[in-house]
Structure 1
Amino acid sequence: MQQAFVYDQVAVLVRHWFEIDLDDSHLEHGARLEVRWLVPQERRGTESAAQKIVVDEPLWRADLFDRLDGPPGNFAAAHFHPYFKGVEPSERDYLREDPWEWLRGQLADVGAASGVPLDAGDVAGVRADAEEIVAAARRRAATECTSMERCHAWTRDAREAVRLMLDQLARPDLLDRERTALW
């Protein structure tokens, strides 16, 4: 399940995500937040017709992840991707501060955080909704994913991505196969 906050130029997507480190097969999960461009669509139908909304190219992503081999709430894998090349994220930039406070700061000026000029109305809208967006991310934090079944239910749409990760592991012998079996 994803939650979307949609503005004029951008949308902020919030969800739970599950990831496998390709080098040592450790498992990570937690809240993922992406800021993405909206693709302008041609108006269709009458003045009352429903309009198409297309959320596409990412601007930046925050992954407020725990490592599953640590205590809940450890944020040992919390990082962000400050930019994208098309749809591919930049290298991880690890967070060294409280992830929730960091996220509030990023949302306070999403234009500066994304490194691209955004409509002043969108910047103000995201700033006004920052507490609600952070609350949505907290509801998808690793600490709220209290069982393998719940984590899988929240990320079942990621099956293809998880399978791609499984195919690329440098150390598949280290993989927690019980934890990944549901995908």
Structure 2
Amino acid sequence: MQHAFAYDEVAILVRHWFEIDLNDSHLEHGTRLELRRLVPQDRRGTESAAQKILVDQPLWRADLFDRLDEPPGNFTAAHYHPFFTGPEPSERHYLQEPPWQWLQEELTNPTGLTDLQLTAWDVEDITSDAAEIIETARRRAATECTSIEQCFAWTRDARRTVHLMLDQLERPDLLDRDHVLPWSRGHAGL
């Protein structure tokens, strides 16, 4: 399940995310926010026709994640990616301040999110919608996901990504296989 805030040239996607650290197999989950470029589409149909909206090129990402081996609300894995190269995120930059405060600062000054030039209208709209975006993000936080079943329901579209992660683990012996089971069904190695 994803929530989208679409503006003139960009959109902010908000969702719950689940992943496995490739180095030590610890599990992470929580809110993911992505700022993405809207790709212009050719107009179709009459003046009343529904138009395509293509949310594509990622520009910036914030992952306000907990580690599952620590108490809920720990934000130990909270980080952001200040830019992307094509679809690939830059290295993680771990947060040094409380995540919700940091996100408030980022969204009320969206020109600081990326080196890309945002339109004045997009900046104004993101700033205006900051409280609603943050409230949506809080509803997808790790503390709101209280069971494996609920987390899977919110992230079942990530199954193929989890399969890729399972294939790349440096320490598969450390993996909590019971917790990963809903995402790993159909994976040859488990």
* CA deviation vs aligned residue, 1:111-141 (integer Å, no higher than 9, x gap): 2211211100000000000000000000000
Q: Residue type of the partner of 2:62?
A: A
Instruction: Show the counterpart of 2:55.
Output: 55
Percent identity, please.
69
Instruction: Show the counterpart of 1:84.
Output: 84
Q: Residue type of the partner of 2:96?
A: R
Within the alignment, does 1:112 sit opposite 2:136 as a pair?
no
> Which of structure 1's runs of 4+ aligned residues deviate more than 2 A?
none
Instruction: Show the counterpart of 2:155.
Output: 155
Instruction: Show the counterpart of 2:187.
Output: none
| Equivalent residues in 2 for 1:113-128, closer than 5 Å | 113-128=113-128
SS in 2 for 1:8: coil
Instruction: Show the counterpart of 1:64.
Output: 64
**Distance in structure 2 (CA, Å) of the matches to 1:82 and 1:162:** 23
Instruction: Show the counterpart of 2:95.
Output: 95
Q: Residue type of the partner of 1:86?
A: G
**Runs of 5+ consecutive residues of structure 2 not aligned to the other structure:** 184-190
Q: Residue type of the partner of 2:7?
A: Y
Instruction: Show the counterpart of 2:4.
Output: 4
Q: Residue type of the partner of 2:64?
A: L
TM-score, normalized by length of structure 2? 0.95
Task: Tell me the matched-pair count.
Answer: 183
Instruction: Show the counterpart of 1:144.
Output: 144
TM-score, normalized by length of structure 1? 0.99
